[in-house]
Amino acid sequence: MYSVELKKLIEKMKLENCTPDINIEDIKIAQTDVNRPALQLAGFFEHFDSDRVQVIGHVEHAYMQKMEKDHGIGIMKKLLEYKVPCIVFCRNLPITDELIELATEYGVPILRSSKTTSSFMAEVIRWLNVELAPRISIHGVLVDVYGEGLLIMGESGIGKSEAALELIKRGHRLVTDDVVEIKKVSDDTLIGTAPDITRHFIELRGIGIIDVKTLFGVESVKDTQSIDLVIKLEEWNKEQEYDRLGLDEKYTEFLGNKVVCHSIPIRPGRNLAIICESAAVNYRQKKMGYNAARELYNRVTNNLKKKDN
């Protein structure tokens, strides 16, 4: 289970804190979904998920306005007793002084947003899905090549950083070197980022640490990138059979998500940067519906049929 600080949500969504007397430093959010407490305002608290951010929209606010004062205070007290992370009023809806005093007493922050309820909920859920996503750290290099996230893996010292440096010189962008933090934001998408301490740095054996952003400019780096393709570098083994056609895709798995993977044998004279670029472009072609290996197979098959006839 991961969590995100409430103050980070306030900063990201530009929320107005209507209860400044409450200490929000220790309040954390651990649920990606949000809740509109319409049923709770009507008095139904069964199956109430109190760990979610509570969102008040125009409908809930109009219902609160029609409630008798004593009854409304009683309902809000019961809601606040659940110690929800916060209550957000959308559309800059007015908030009564009684509610602010009550929320301050129970230690539940009351926040306000100018966004419409639907757009605010969609934005918060999307952001929380990224912040609270399952994650792992692996050894590798992540580069944005023609818009495709290329994760280069292999044993230490095999040439991952050198390949990334050559790709950067060819106009592509570095995301992270050495350590890649991978987040699973959906069943189809993996996002890679760099640890704060090593962001924009590359280690080259014999030279040391290189600041890519300083040497090559801000256009040579990127903070996050989806992981679309994996390149595994390995020592050349003449006893091993390597795929020469690419008819059948091979995959590697991170956090339950499968990613297309190519094993590239390393021997003197092979230009890794060009190989990585070609792999990225070929992957992009396949996404657009063109498979060169399948096209060659079809040509050979058709040619054999013509000879038989």
Q: Which CATH class is domain 135-297?
A: alpha beta
End-to-end distance of the chain based on CA atoms, in angstroms? 65
> Mean of the pLDDT values across residues 32-42?
94
- Supply the pLDDT for residue 239: 75
- Supply the pLDDT for residue 74: 93
- Supply the pLDDT for residue 134: 92
- Supply the pLDDT for residue 302: 86
- Give 309's pLDDT tier (boundaries 50, 70, 90): low
Query: What own/partner pairs with CB < 8 Å and gap ≥ 24 does 254-258 have?
Result: 254/136, 254/138, 254/182, 254/184, 254/190, 254/227, 255/134, 255/135, 255/136, 255/182, 255/184, 255/190, 256/184, 256/187, 257/184, 257/187, 257/188, 257/189, 257/190
Residues making up the annotated binding site for Mg(2+) are 161, 203
- The pLDDT tens digits for 150-169 are 999 998 888 899 899 999 99
Measured between alpha carbons, how far is 183 from 222 in angstroms, rounded to an integer?
16
Element (H, E) at 124: helix 117-131
Residues making up the annotated binding site are 154-161, 203
- Radius of gyration, CA atoms only, the chain: 27
pLDDT above 90 covers what percent of the chain?
A: 72
Matching CATH topology for 4-131 and 135-297? no
Active-site residue (options: 14, 244, 305, 306) = 244
Residues making up the annotated binding site for ATP are 154-161
CATH topology of domain 4-131: 3.40.1390
| 71 tagged catalytic | no
DSSP code of residue 92: T
266, 255 contact by CB (below 8 A): no
| 196 tagged catalytic | no
- Supply the pLDDT for residue 265: 87
Active-site residue (options: 8, 77, 126, 139) = 139
| 139 tagged catalytic | yes
Active-site residue (options: 52, 112, 115, 160) = 160
With 90 as the cut, is the pLDDT of residue 300 above it?
Answer: no
CA angle 166, 171, 175 (to 5 degrees): 75
pLDDT above 70 covers what percent of the chain?
A: 99
- Supply the pLDDT for residue 240: 75
- The pLDDT tens digits for 65-112 are 999 988 989 999 999 999 999 999 999 999 999 999 999 999 999 999
- The pLDDT tens digits for 184-216 are 988 889 999 999 999 999 988 888 899 999 999
With 90 as the cut, is the pLDDT of residue 177 above it?
Answer: yes
**Domain residue ranges of the chain, discontinuous segments joined by +:** 4-131, 135-297
143, 174 contact by CB (below 8 A): yes
Measured between alpha carbons, how far is 31 from 54 in angstroms, rounded to an integer?
11
Measured between alpha carbons, how far is 92 from 90 in angstroms, rounded to an integer?
5
With 80 as the cut, is the pLDDT of residue 274 above it?
Answer: yes
Q: Model pTM?
A: 0.78
98, 64 contact by CB (below 8 A): no
> Mean of the pLDDT values across residues 19-38?
93
| 36 tagged catalytic | no
